[in-house]
Amino acid sequence: MKILLINIKELLQVRENAPKLLLGTQMRDLPTIKNAWLYIENDTIRDYGSMDNCIELEGFKPIDCTGKIVMPAWCDSHSHLVYAGNREQEFIDRINGLSYQEIAEKGGGILNSAKKLQETSEADLYKQSAERLKEVMRLGTGALEIKSGYGLTTEAELKMLRVAKKLNENFPITIKTTFLGAHAVPSEYQNDKDGYLNLICNEMLPKVADQKLAEYVDVFCEEGYFSVSDTERILSEAKKYELIPKIHVNQFNAIGGVAAGVKHNALSVDHLEVLTPEDINALKGSDTMPVALPSCSYFLSIPYTPGREIIDNGLPLALATDYNPGSTPSGNMNFVVATACIKMKLTPAEAINAATINGAYAMGLSDTHGSITKGKKANVIITKKIPSYGYLPYAFGSYLIDTVILNGEKI
């Protein structure tokens, strides 16, 4: 299968030798070619250039992209896309005055989703999740991380990860899986958190590893969930199985989880709505990617991650959706990018870098995703006719995508 895109108004994120990640002022630079072409063969980007030197290929019709921008598909490094049912009632409860924490204390929140998921068959869970996956692909996402964490029993956690793996096999999108058994303490262990930690360490982790269901491990390190020492225990145990940490930290409170993540060589630390100077210092010089989830801040009306400050401190930043039924029932990376510009004061170039190259890094996909580079996966978004790439976050809420190509397939 060959695809040639011609007369592209602007080809974004073109990198001959793509860096693994971008930090600080590097994030301001978004290399582009105006009036460009792009050639795809099977699932791979083969070549690109300016229309002044367009390749000629016999026997098939190129796709004319006059007035349209072409860019790499989004890399969404943090999602909980596999879940059962929804939590619409909690949304209404919050409108009526209850906080996210109060709802959780009453047995709602993550435990509510866990109950629903335990009662849902694997086939039904797959069906519900596949619908959401098709939607995010149409919204331009080409690589996605999916966490467990709504099972909270060994069998239900494994079920979630099997569903995520099956989605990876059946759809032209790259999915990376993360084991998040430590998402909340299930009600059966309400007065015995150590008992649940033992279950995670002695039963869940070995099974996840043995069945090769996840590459990453996550912990919700937060007051009322898992402490820094709980987190360190799980990360140390997970290391024995070569699971790499990608953790939830600093969503509501800064309790030292960022430094713990860095100490355990976390690939990413995610949320960071509450960030201290000590957290910023802990990230400096590390290989850990800070990940902001602005749709979660929008939906819960909590502070936005100080992305401007993170970048101005010379650090990298990635953007992701956090797609889940409780805090972010949206998998729309276009909205994430727009909200990062509008609320976190990232420039469009910084936000696009954060949602492509840096998102790929936060999933261990730097070599294959996140930029227009020869040999990388043919994952691209063709926009509708728009005046410039800054128009994408500017016209937030508009559906500006004409075509999405993933693994060289038009979807």
Shortest distance in whole angstroms from residue 296 CB to ligand NIG: 5
296 binds ligand NIG (CB under 6 A): yes
218 binds Zn ion (CB under 5 A): no
Relative to beta strand 44-50, strand 32-41 is antiparallel
Nearer to ligand NIG, 31 or 85 (CB): 85
Shortest distance in whole angstroms from residue 227 CB to ligand NIG: 15
Nearer to Zn ion, 76 or 322 (CB): 322
52 is in an annotated binding site: no
| Of 322, 340, 376, 404, the one binding ligand NIG by CB under 6 A | 322
Nearer to ligand NIG, 145 or 322 (CB): 322
Nearer to ligand NIG, 258 or 296 (CB): 296
Nearer to Zn ion, 90 or 322 (CB): 322
- Please, which residues have CB within 8 angstroms of residue 134's CB and are 6 or more apart in sequence? 171
| Token pair belonging to 151 | 């099972």
x/- mask, Zn ion, residues 298-337, rule CB under 5 A, reads ------------------------x---------------
Helix 122-138 / helix 154-170 crossing angle, nearest 10 deg? 40
Buried/exposed code over 310-338 (b: 16+ C-beta within 10 A; e: otherwise) = bbebebbbbbbbbbbbbbbbbbbbbbbbb
> How many other C-beta atoms lie within 10 A of the C-beta of residue 105?
12
| Residue number with the smallest Cβ distance to Zn ion | 322
| Of 327, 353, 356, 383, the one binding ligand NIG by CB under 6 A | 327
* Binding region: 78, 80, 87, 150, 183, 248, 251, 322, 324, 326-327
Q: Which residues bind Zn ion (CB under 5 A)?
A: 322
* Binding region for N-formimidoyl-L-glutamate: 150, 324, 326
